[in-house]
Amino acid sequence: MSSNPVAETVASLMPRAKAELTELVAFKSVADFDQFPRSESEAAANWIVAALRAEGFQDVALLDTPDGTQSVYGLLPGPEGAKTVLLYAHYDVQPPLDEAGWDTPPFELTERDGRWFGRGTADCKGGFIMHLLALRALKANGGVPVHVKVIVEGSEEQGTGGLERYAEQHPELLAADTIVIGDAGNFRVGLPTVTSTLRGMTMMRVSVDTLAGNLHSGQFGGAAPDALGALIRVLDSLRAEDGSTTVDGLADGPAWEGLQYDEEQFRKDAKVLDGVSLIGSGTVADRIWARPAVTVLGIDCPPVVGATPSVQSSARALISLRVPPGVDAAEATKLLQAHLEAHTPWGARVRTEQIGQGQPFSADTTSPAYAAMAEAMAVAYPGQEMSYAGQGGSIPLCNTLAALYPRAEILLIGLSEPEAQIHAVNESVSPEELERLSVAEALFLRTYAAG
Ligand SMILES: [Zn+2]
């Protein structure tokens, strides 16, 4: 890689990148303004505005999104007739959680064991620095050959959907031929990976009522219909013996054809206790990326401490259903609702209420942008081939962009490999990953422009 001028430039820019990421990490830009002052998020946004202006971006603006936060936008015009690429990152971060659980201060970038620790180093302030490095490397080596739009969101972690609504209201603003979402991560450090599918999700509240009020379990138990018992049965009906999700009529997505997730490795990553089996069937990748998965998120029932010998008259649960690519989330929601109603025993009264829904996402990996990224990754990661991974969670913005710009190609890359421990205490970024992915992004823009 050292013989490549773009890679040499990125290497020489790494000290500056570290200094900049240190400044950016110092802003406590958590978009929960009851817990963290809004001024911290505003300062981070202004830092990004200044950084884009310094790079020669035009039309740099703070966009007031409907959720009361601000996204930063800028345009770097390329040669006439060139394609347009949108680069995405977000400057808001997860709260630090348990500050005492951090080995170093969460908002002070600290180098330790070859990694840079601090909240947002990987997710996703480092993602913005990656975009800057890629553009600077191209400028130093013949110029940026595409029109570049940058959007840096201010409330990704809160899931308040501000940028999604704003983009829908201003459909021209983010229009692009290709979109690079810099908020995903390699499957492992050193293994170049594009995330090509995301599962969708639906959340549902289910309530079961059987009696006008609670009854003594000695006097009435055995004949009185127990609402909690009914709820347990209906929740259990959502699983087969091996733990696979079984919603009547809901099919699996197509089998996973990308990167495989080694079962032993998965056990380790998920910290599964000795002697406990994984659930589901098929490969691990099938189970977490290509199949539906129900999880019971909570149950309203009497806590053990203070519980009395009573038959419960009502019970409630919140469940999530991860929806695989290729399945419509609205259709999956209907099937889940019908299943819950059909499987509630004893004529118990059941009510379902949908809380939220996001569609799954699936990229066209045969597109020219994917070919260009594979070529770029092979140079940035010598001896490695680009892999495709899925992601079990959802990024609603992907669906918004895919719906607004059906012809745009969407690539998800980024710094959030497993060791980064995003959303947990002791989040960190690997500087080597930042360097290599910046090289990959620069070479991608160049190869894509030429294609
Ligand atoms: Zn993120």
From ligand 1's centre to the CA of 138, what distance in Å?
Answer: 25
From ligand 1's centre to the CA of 173, what distance in Å?
Answer: 22
If phi > 0 it is left, if psi is from -120 to 50 it is alpha, else beta; for residue 275 that is left
Whole-prediction pTM value? 0.88
Q: Helical H runs in 171-326?
A: 227-236, 263-269, 284-285
Helix 125-139 crosses helix 431-450 at what angle (to 10 degrees)? 50
Catalytic residues: 92, 156
Give the per-residue pLDDT at 399.
87
Handedness of CA 110, 183, 159, 63 (dihedral sign): positive
Burial of residue 2 (CB within 10 Å: 0-12, 13-18, 19+) is: exposed
Residue 358 confidence class, pLDDT cut points 50, 70, 90: confident
pLDDT tens digits along 21-80: 999 999 999 999 999 999 999 999 999 999 999 999 999 999 999 999 999 999 999 999
Residue 247 confidence class, pLDDT cut points 50, 70, 90: very high
CA distance 401 to 151: 12
420: Cβ contacts below 8 Å, ≥ 6 apart: 121, 122, 123, 185, 427, 428, 429, 430
Burial of residue 193 (CB within 10 Å: 0-12, 13-18, 19+) is: buried
From ligand 1's centre to the CA of 228, what distance in Å?
Answer: 38
59 is written with which tokens? 């039309």
Residue 183 confidence class, pLDDT cut points 50, 70, 90: very high
Give the per-residue pLDDT at 393.
72
Query: In this structure, what is the dihedral angle of CA atoms 110, 114, 115, 116, given to the nearest 10 degrees?
Result: 30
CA distance 305 to 308: 9
Residue 158 confidence class, pLDDT cut points 50, 70, 90: confident
Q: For 225-234, what is the mean pLDDT? A: 98
pLDDT tens digits along 188-223: 999 999 999 999 999 999 999 999 999 999 999 999
Burial of residue 115 (CB within 10 Å: 0-12, 13-18, 19+) is: buried
Q: For 300-322, what is the mean pLDDT? A: 96
From ligand 1's centre to the CA of 342, what distance in Å?
Answer: 39
Q: For 384-392, what is the mean pLDDT? A: 91
With residue 224 as reference, give the H or E element that holds it.
none
Amino acid identity for residue 296 in this structure: V
